Structure 1
Amino acid sequence: MVGDVGRERPVYASLARSVRALVLDGRLALRTRLPAERDLAAALGLSRTTVTAAYDRLRDEGYVESRQGAGSWTALPPVRMSSAEPRPAPPGGRYGKVHPVPDDPSFIDLGCATPGAPAIFDAAVAAAVAELPRYSSGPGYEPAGLPGLREVIADGYTARGVPTRPDQIVVTTGAQHAFTLLTHVLAETGDAVMVERPTYPHALGALRRRGARLVPVGVNEGWDVELIAGTMRQAAVRMAYLVPDFQNPTGLLMSADDRAALVDAARRADAFLVPDETFADLPHDPGAPRVPPLAAFDSGGRVVTVGSASKLLWGGLRIGWIRATAPLARRLVLAREPFDMASPVLDQLIVRELLLRVEEVRAERAETLLRGRDALAAALRELLPDWEFRLPDGGMSLWARIGAPVATALAETAERLGVRVVAGPVFGADGVLEDYVRLPYVLPPDTLRVAAERLAVAFHEVEAAPAARPLPAYV
């Protein structure tokens, strides 16, 4: 991006805009020392006056801090807060002066990217309940998971080109439990763990609680495998957590070539890869060719996969799983004892019934999610035409760039106006991504339209609010 600054005028403003975008995207980490003005001017073929003017603008905006004799480094400006008084809804708005609150039925929650249960859910529950007496005479504890469920999960991997035995599967109490368990087995306090930026927020929480040293890599524009490989080596990364299938929150899908290169990079860096496949079964075209799982490119046991029933089947089924080598699976079973002894039997039986009819569920999800995606995208293009987003080919959310670093203020204002959204910084390890919001499309199209209308009012209110002044220094 910085290499293209000479194509716009004035050039100093273009350079400042490029650096600002790199910081907000997370591709340029905070506290990164910037080149000296003379060096950057020489590298870009610009005058030193142009670079000085760009740095001055970035300092004025709060994206660069400098100290004489110490140089300049990247920073973030103060978050701009919304005004205290709400503006009235525009004519034709779908709500009046009484603003919905979270326990109001008219409140719209776009903070949760999880749909309701599929149409065959009741039949699956009935079949599972009928099966339950076969297990009720025993203790009910299967630390590795019910053999029948492990077999179905293993068969699913085999069908996707990754030969898997049931003894390589450990059933967990959700994907979050699976990942937390892996952090305790694969990483020690102080180990470097690579994470995407943006990424799933609760994975960051688990790693922080473990005491891991987070090493973020930006993926807003996709996976730069060469950069990832270099960072793995330089930071001595022990483990990398990533979401290669309809990435949460960007919706990006990693190519087969990048998967192969990433596994090779992990081998050379002696690191484990932990792909989260929670969204892998959610393409909007179930008939489209599927990219092989990351584990398909692994021959050395470096890829340890997390799966989940929560997005595809139902969030109330707290069932996840880990696919690993058989020896690592045995270690994981022993390591789970301090967390829980085993996952609920009935939930496992329900998940097994649903996975036996998984193609029906995938087709239903694809139809409803595609309808929601298109409805939300159409509403945003009409009401917030300056917002930027890609239409993902799978997953459950749009990752929208809102054009100003006000996502936190927008989220606060939107909640007061009756819609909850999650601001971009929640998905980063270091407070960047302030110009992004995640917008799930799991709700009905009419509801998504109302949500977009409320977001438009909230955004215009935040835009009109005065910027916060930085506090003066005390000396």
Structure 2
Amino acid sequence: MPVATEQSTPGHELAAQLGDTDGSPRYAALARRVRELVVTGELPVGTRLPAERDLAAALGVSRVTVASAYRTLREAGFAHTRHGSGTVLELPDDRPAWNWRSGDVPGVVDLAHGASPASPLLAPAYADALTRLEAYTRGSGYVPVGLPELRAAVADRYTAQGLPTTADQVLITSGAGDAAALVWGALVEPGDRVLVQHPSYPGAIRSVELAGGRCVPVPVDAADPDALVEAARLAARQSAPRMAYLMPDHANPTGISLSATGRRRLAATLWQQGVLTVVDEIAAELVIDGDPAPHVAAGLPDAAMITVGGLSKSVWGGLRVGWLRTDAALVERLATVLGHRQLSVGLLDQLAATTLVRDLDAVLAHRREQLRTQRDALVAAVREQLPDWSLTIPSGGLCLWAQLPPGLSSAALTAAAAPAGLLLAEGRVFGTGAAFDDRLRLPFTRPPGELRSAVEVLAGLDRQLRGQATPRPAPSSTVV
């Protein structure tokens, strides 16, 4: 595999990215502009800043101005200086607290979770699993790499999607999140950089950090999803990441998807840069409009990517069965690590999952129609009651990513909504820094009536909060 090397940004390139840095004092304006680019992901974490003299010449300012700006960045936690390596960009950890809490509370409309009620096919699948369970009860009940029938079913699903796969390329885990956490724990060394779409699923960001990795945010543009290709190429060149985490289909929280051309270019670019990519496919088949896109890993060596998936979004969040798919040798390596952590995923769950994977087209037909109805109801309610909120309508997935109007804080909105019986996840939990307080994720996973009621609450809070200068701190957000 090719290997990328960390590079610094030349002074003239950074000057072009910075654009207008007018302000008083000049050094503070310069530092503020660098912070903006880092928070949005336009300037990758891990980038070595130009030498003070080079940037000063490119900007037409004194070296003292640049030195003062660099000092301001270091004091704010946005950079550190390493002897012999210059000044390197980083992100302070000033995000809101984030944890897991149950959203199933009577009388509460839950828009913090992006998860649907159970599929009608769930109970029949478990009934069928119970009839088959007795044949397995004479053994230990442990299936460390996964039930052979389930591994084969998942492999067949990938093959039908144009990605030839054998059962030995599949490893069964306790959900897609568990699969991703296994990968980070096994393959990420302390200090390794991992590219992540920005915004991104907070569970993935936290699991990378728990493994000792450092997230490098790559900006996502809802108006031009394929711009991610060039942004990722630039971040890989500047930051020398070891791995990447991507959601090319109906990404959480933005809902955007890459085009067929964009996904091929992105996959090839990262492979050529020596980056092993983890592709989260948990929502890939939740297509509402149009047809499924070609698989992002098609045409690449099996070892180029690790795809993770599961049944929590298509079937039910309570069914904790997921998987990963990659090169068979890498599966064996990951299976060894998994075996040290747990002996097996529950056998009854795996039996039910086998039936559901075999019948996934029927499961998805119902789920897609349900999501279409709910998405359209939520969009209509927002447009009617919150006309100055900006929405990009996704072609699939589970959520809208709303741009809030000026003067409205996601943190304040989340805090005010909870006493009103509405659970929300504030925008900042989806970022790697202090970004996205002007954004709010709105899952369309609840019935239309609940969604309309939620928007009524939001409309009232919008009127109350608009114009507040200082947002109230939000409680810990629950996000799935």
Shared fold by TM > 0.5? Answer: yes
Q: Distance in 1 between matches of 2:46 and 2:327?
A: 40
Number of the residue aligned with 1:437? 440
Give the structure-1-normalised TM-score.
0.79
State whether structure 2 residue 235 is matched by structure 1 residue 246: no
Q: Distance in 1 between matches of 2:391 and 2:36?
A: 15
Number of the residue aligned with 1:57? none
- CA drift at 1:308: 0.9
Written as runs of structure 1 = structure 2, the 5 A alignment for 1:161-240 is 161-221=162-222, 222=225, 223-240=227-244
Give unpaired runs (5+ residues) of structure 1. Answer: 7-17, 49-64, 80-100, 470-475
Q: Deviations over 1:353-389 (max 9, x none)?
A: 1122111111111111011111111111111111111
- SS at 2:195's partner residue? strand
Amino acid in the other structure paired with 1:140? G
Amino acid in the other structure paired with 2:183? L
State whether structure 2 residue 269 is matched by structure 1 residue 268: no
Q: Distance in 2 between matches of 1:370 and 1:29?
A: 36
Written as runs of structure 1 = structure 2, the 5 A alignment for 1:131-142 is 131-142=132-143
Amino acid in the other structure paired with 1:417? A
Amino acid in the other structure paired with 1:262? L
Q: Distance in 1 between matches of 2:214 and 2:136?
A: 43
Q: Distance in 1 between matches of 2:69 and 2:177?
A: 46
Amino acid in the other structure paired with 1:331? R
The 1:28–1:413 alpha-carbon spacing in structure 2 relative to 1, beyond 3 Å, is: farther
Of 443, 447, 463, the residue aligned with 2:466 is 463
Number of the residue aligned with 1:14? none
Contact kept in structure 2, 1:242 and 1:276, CA below 8 Å: yes
- SS at 1:438's partner residue? strand
The 1:122–1:23 alpha-carbon spacing in structure 2 relative to 1, beyond 3 Å, is: same
Number of the residue aligned with 2:281? 277
Contact kept in structure 2, 1:389 and 1:398, CA below 8 Å: yes
Amino acid in the other structure paired with 1:357? D
Written as runs of structure 1 = structure 2, the 5 A alignment for 1:395-406 is 395-404=397-406, 406=409
Of 428, 452, 470, the residue aligned with 1:449 is 452
Structure 1 range deviating more: 224-233 or 338-347: 224-233
Percent of pairs with identical residues = 38
Amino acid in the other structure paired with 2:165? T
Q: Distance in 1 between matches of 2:288 and 2:367?
A: 8
Q: Distance in 2 between matches of 1:427 and 1:69?
A: 28
Number of the residue aligned with 1:127? 128
Q: Distance in 2 between matches of 1:111 and 1:262?
A: 31
Give unpaired runs (5+ residues) of structure 2. Answer: 1-15, 21-32, 79-90, 95-101, 473-480
Written as runs of structure 1 = structure 2, the 5 A alignment for 1:48-127 is 105-127=106-128
The 1:162–1:69 alpha-carbon spacing in structure 2 relative to 1, beyond 3 Å, is: closer
The 1:66–1:407 alpha-carbon spacing in structure 2 relative to 1, beyond 3 Å, is: farther
Amino acid in the other structure paired with 2:376? D
Number of the residue aligned with 1:289? 291
- SS at 1:158's partner residue? helix
Contact kept in structure 2, 1:23 and 1:432, CA below 8 Å: no
- CA drift at 1:467: 3.1
Number of the residue aligned with 1:388? 390
Q: Distance in 2 between matches of 1:466 and 1:297?
A: 52
Number of the residue aligned with 1:321? 323
Number of the residue aligned with 1:351? 353
- CA drift at 1:204: 1.0
Q: Deviations over 1:440-471 (max 9, x none)?
A: 011110110010011112222222434379xx
Q: Distance in 2 between matches of 1:242 and 1:70?
A: 31
Contact kept in structure 2, 1:198 and 1:220, CA below 8 Å: no
Q: Deviations over 1:13-50 (max 9, x none)?
A: xxxxx99986775545799989x9xx99x99xxxx9xx
Number of the residue aligned with 1:410? 413
Number of the residue aligned with 2:98? none
- CA drift at 1:227: 2.2
Amino acid in the other structure paired with 1:157? Y
Q: Distance in 2 between matches of 1:290 and 1:162?
A: 14
Contact kept in structure 1, 2:173 and 2:345, CA below 8 Å: yes
Q: Distance in 2 between matches of 1:190 and 1:430?
A: 17
- SS at 2:304's partner residue? coil
Number of the residue aligned with 1:377? 379
- CA drift at 1:256: 1.8
Q: Distance in 1 between matches of 2:449 and 2:118?
A: 20
Amino acid in the other structure paired with 1:353? T
Of 291, 302, 305, the residue aligned with 2:304 is 302
State whether structure 2 residue 263 is matched by structure 1 residue 259: yes
- SS at 1:432's partner residue? coil
- CA drift at 1:185: 2.0
The 1:69–1:262 alpha-carbon spacing in structure 2 relative to 1, beyond 3 Å, is: closer
Q: Distance in 2 between matches of 1:230 and 1:451?
A: 40
Number of the residue aligned with 2:155? 154
- SS at 1:295's partner residue? coil
Q: Distance in 2 between matches of 1:417 and 1:31?
A: 42
CA RMSD of aligned residues (A): 3.5
Contact kept in structure 2, 1:115 and 1:443, CA below 8 Å: yes
Amino acid in the other structure paired with 1:133? E
Contact kept in structure 2, 1:192 and 1:237, CA below 8 Å: yes
Q: Deviations over 1:265-311 (max 9, x none)?
A: 222221101000000110014xx332111211312511110011100
- SS at 2:297's partner residue? helix
Q: Distance in 2 between matches of 1:173 and 1:247?
A: 21
The 1:156–1:388 alpha-carbon spacing in structure 2 relative to 1, beyond 3 Å, is: same
Amino acid in the other structure paired with 1:203? A
The 1:29–1:296 alpha-carbon spacing in structure 2 relative to 1, beyond 3 Å, is: closer
Q: How many residues align?
A: 416
Contact kept in structure 1, 2:44 and 2:238, CA below 8 Å: no
Q: Distance in 2 between matches of 1:356 and 1:29?
A: 42
The 1:71–1:159 alpha-carbon spacing in structure 2 relative to 1, beyond 3 Å, is: same
Contact kept in structure 1, 2:412 and 2:471, CA below 8 Å: no
